[in-house]
Amino acid sequence: MDVEGAVAIVTGSSSGVGAACARQLAEKGSHVVINYASNAEGAEATRQACEAFGVETEVVQADVSRDADCRRLAQAAIDRWGRIDALVNNAGTTKFCDHRDLEGLSDQDFQDIYAVNTVGPYQMVRAVVPAMKQGGRGAIVNVASIAGVMGVGSSIAYAASKGALITMGLSLARVLGPEIRLNTVCPGFIQGDWLEAGMGGDRYAATKAFLEETTPLKLTTTPDTVAEGILYFICGADVITGETLIMDGGQHLNQLASGRR
């Protein structure tokens, strides 16, 4: 898909991967709907960065766990430009809890995490499909996680929600064609303030150092490198749908090997 002049919605684009994705889409000439739940200052910074490339933006506060907000987010793009060409379901949440601590997660924790990480993307897809179908094309990318593939990550609830998102992507890709392609990216450790705050500075630094020493590519991802994978599915994968791309420097290969010992 040529995204010059296209319209893209990026949920959770006030920081991190979402902000990087919005900037990269803008650099390629796409108009962008920037979404945030609470970080208005970050959304404004993303807007300024995108508009520096000469594109138009729309900033919309919306909580993707609420269906009405998802529909309002989609309508904002239609009202401004009359079309929606791409959707990046990036908004996510978690609760950091050691997987061994089975008492550390409540049923409400699961419901809150699923509401954003799994139900939210479904609601966003449902909200944009009519406009994409009418336009005759569309590209959707769901941002899952290596946690959903390997059962690792910040908590069992988070891993489960991302695993569900991966499976949901297969179902949606099957029914959304031929006009709409849907693919999923699964990043590993992503450098940034959000993960550092959740893990704590010492654990974050130790984990980053360990992965950069032991993974086959000896690196961890950044928001920009994850965004590059997302843009591949939007801009350069016209014959690909229903695929899941692991982006972790090969971390999952080490875990698979250790599991066979």
CATH of the domain at 67: 3.40.50.720
- Tens of pLDDT along 97-126? 999 999 999 999 999 999 999 999 999 999
**Position 16 pLDDT exceeds 60:** yes
**pTM attached to this predicted model:** 0.95
Is 158 assigned a catalytic role?
A: yes
Give the CA distances from residue 4 to residues 25, 128, 191, 235, in Å, rounded to whole numbers and listed in that order: 9, 19, 29, 10
256 falls in which pLDDT band (50, 70, 90)?
Answer: low
Domain that holds residue 21: 7-191+221-249
> What mean pLDDT comes out for the span 142-162?
97
- 163 neighbors 148 (Cβ within 8 angstroms): yes
The residue annotated as part of the active site, out of 114, 158, 204, 232, is 158
- Inter-axis angle of helices 156-176 and 120-135, to 10 degrees? 20
- 160 neighbors 152 (Cβ within 8 angstroms): no
Gap between the Cα atoms of 258 and 261, Å rounded: 5
By percentage, how much of the chain surpasses pLDDT 70? Answer: 98
Q: Which residues pair with 141 in a beta bridge?
A: 88, 183
pLDDT at 258 (0 to 100):
55
pLDDT at 203 (0 to 100):
92
**Position 132 pLDDT exceeds 90:** yes
Helix (H, G, I), strand (E, B) or coil at 255: helix
Task: Report yes or no on 206 lying in a domain.
Answer: no
261 falls in which pLDDT band (50, 70, 90)?
Answer: very low
Q: How many domains does the chain have?
A: 1
> What mean pLDDT comes out for the span 160-182?
98
Peptide bond into 178 cis (omega under 30): yes
Task: Report yes or no on 211 lying in a domain.
Answer: no
- Tens of pLDDT along 200-220? 999 999 999 999 999 999 999
Task: Report yes or no on 1 lying in a domain.
Answer: no
Task: Report yes or no on 39 lying in a domain.
Answer: yes
Task: Report yes or no on 257 lying in a domain.
Answer: no
pLDDT at 170 (0 to 100):
98
> What mean pLDDT comes out for the span 4-15?
98
pLDDT at 194 (0 to 100):
86
Gap between the Cα atoms of 8 and 164, Å rounded: 24
pLDDT at 254 (0 to 100):
87
- Tens of pLDDT along 49-87? 999 999 999 999 999 999 999 999 999 999 999 999 999
141 falls in which pLDDT band (50, 70, 90)?
Answer: very high
